[in-house]
């Protein structure tokens, strides 16, 4: 069982630091850690080497509770990977890209919470009536193809004269169309 020492408690790969009434977290390495990771000159694809660096950066970012602790951990990682003969420009560019990608994700998260506004063009009421009549005729043709005898009689019919002189018949419960040519 681990015991707190100087208000620091190691816990599952991270260190809990108590400062006043606040808790901060950072990456914890045991004193027996030798920093043995994948050497750069080993016979492994370059993508695995870059992925190892990205994984360690992601771990540091997730476990660090403040940007200062994350920057400190980035310096530690840079030292570890330099000992493993990783090129310094690869390390620096990977760290820079990681930080930029995190900043872009934070901007996207802020934008995702903003209301979405869509501007829809509207010409005039006459155009809307033409579109409505075309959709009514189209739906009638589809219904006519499904069943030839789909005209029902009822007392409460409402008749509407369309722009082309066709009579559309609506039923209160079920919508049926009858076009008189």
User: Does residue 65 sit in the same domain as residue 15?
Assistant: yes
Q: What is the pLDDT of residues 90-133, one digit of tens each?
A: 999 999 999 999 888 877 766 667 666 665 565 666 766 776 77
**What pTM, to 2 d.p., does this model score?**
0.58
Q: Residue 94 burial (CB < 10 Å; 0-12/13-18/19+)?
A: buried
With H, G, I as helix, E, B as strand and everything else as coil, classify residue 173.
coil
B/e letters for 55-82, b = 16+ CB within 10 Å, e = fewer, are ebbeebbebbeeeebbeebbebbbebbe
Confidence at residue 154, expressed as pLDDT on a 0 to 100 scale: 39
Number of domains in the chain: 2
Q: Are residues 18 and 79 in the same domain?
A: yes
> By residue range, what is the domain housing residue 170?
150-181
d(CA 28, CA 63): 9
Asked if residue 26 and residue 80 are part of one domain, the reply reads yes
Q: In whole angstroms, what separates CA 57 from the centre of its chain?
A: 21
More confident site: 46 or 178: 46
The answer to whether residue 24 is domain-embedded is: yes
Residues 171 and 104 in one domain: no
- Per-residue pLDDT of 21-80, as tens digits, reads 888 999 998 888 888 899 999 999 999 999 999 999 999 999 999 999 999 999 999 999
My answer on whether 87 and 174 are in the same domain is no
Max Cα-Cα span within the chain: 93
**Does residue 79 lie within any of the structural domains?**
yes
């Amino acid at each position: 069982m681990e015991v707190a020492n100087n208000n620091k408690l190691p816990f599952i790969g991270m260190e809990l630091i108590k400062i006043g009434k606040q808790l901060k977290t950072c990456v914890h390495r045991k004193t027996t850690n030798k920093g043995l990771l994948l050497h750069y000159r080993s016979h492994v694809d370059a993508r695995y080497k870059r992925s190892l660096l990205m994984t360690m950066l992601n771990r540091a970012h997730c476990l660090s509770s403040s940007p200062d602790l994350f920057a400190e951990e980035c310096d530690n990682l840079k030292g570890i990977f330099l000992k493993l003969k990783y090129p310094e420009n690869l390390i620096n560019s990977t760290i820079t890209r990681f930080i930029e990608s995190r900043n872009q994700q934070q901007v996207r998260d802020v934008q995702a919470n903003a209301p979405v506004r869509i501007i829809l063009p509207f010409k005039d009421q006459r155009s809307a009536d033409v579109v409505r009549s075309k959709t009514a005729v189209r739906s009638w043709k589809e219904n006519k193809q499904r069943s030839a005898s789909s005209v029902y009689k009822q007392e409460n019919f409402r008749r509407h004269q369309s722009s082309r002189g066709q009579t559309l018949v609506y039923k209160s419960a079920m919508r049926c169309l009858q076009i008189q040519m």
